[in-house]
Amino acid sequence: MNKDFWRDLFRPSNGKMPVNLVLGLIIGIFLLISSKGLFAEPEESTAILPQTAGQEEAPLIADNDVEVRAANILSQINGAGRVEVMVTFKTATEHVVATEERTEEVESNNSGAVSQSRKQEVSIVLTEDGKGNRTPIVLTQNTARVEGVVIVAEGGDQAVVKNALTSAAQALFDVPVHKIVVLKMK
């Protein structure tokens, strides 16, 4: 469309100017209202948490504390020398929370036809502390499952030390021998 069309549309000499102004105003209001839905921030919604909460993605590297503690105990093995440990996990720690189930059964008889409906609702049981913070009640905590262990030790090239480190790691992390690797430190 050319510029003259828009200029002529709202000129006082045009007999349709009041109608055009009202029409333009209505279209403007409509555009403002419809744009609110497009650009508005999403509203916060409350959703029921799953029965197992607190499960994170499995990290590639274990919590540093576990590795440090394992390195400290493994370095005490005769001939091991300085030791570094890396642990990978198959699953992360999982918290199983308390849930409350409500079931409502309704039976109705309309015009000789019997209909039944059942409504089941599951919600998580929460506790509230003195500050108003609400947290779920944790029934059990399933610890992370170790996938593999790498041990780098100064004495890692000696068969006796390698066997002792492997046995100790197997006892510490409850993993099969083929998922434990012992290497010599440079």
- The stretches in the chain having pLDDT less than 50 are 42-62
Q: Please say whether the beta carbons of 81 and 155 come within 8 A.
A: yes
DSSP 3-state of 106: strand
Q: Going by C-beta distance under 8 Å and a sequence separation of 6 or more, which residues neighbour residue 158?
A: 79
Give domain limits for the chain: 3-39, 52-95+139-184, 99-134
How are beta strands 83-91 and 52-53 bridged, if at all?
Answer: unpaired
* Predicted pLDDT at 43: 45
Nearest Cα to Cα of residue 9 among 25, 22, 21: 21
pTM for the predicted model, two decimal places? 0.48
* Predicted pLDDT at 82: 93
Q: Please say whether the beta carbons of 62 and 86 come within 8 A.
A: yes
Match 């409850």 to its residue by tokens.
174
* Predicted pLDDT at 8: 67
* Predicted pLDDT at 50: 45
* Predicted pLDDT at 91: 78
Nearest Cα to Cα of residue 125 among 98, 152, 103, 149: 98
Instruction: Tell me the C-alpha distance between 94 and 143, whole Å.
Output: 7
What the block records as the tokens of 29 is 């209001």
* Predicted pLDDT at 57: 42
For residue 4, list its beta bridge partners: none
* Predicted pLDDT at 96: 83
- Topology (CATH) of 52-95+139-184: GMP Synthetase; Chain A, domain 3 (3.30.300)
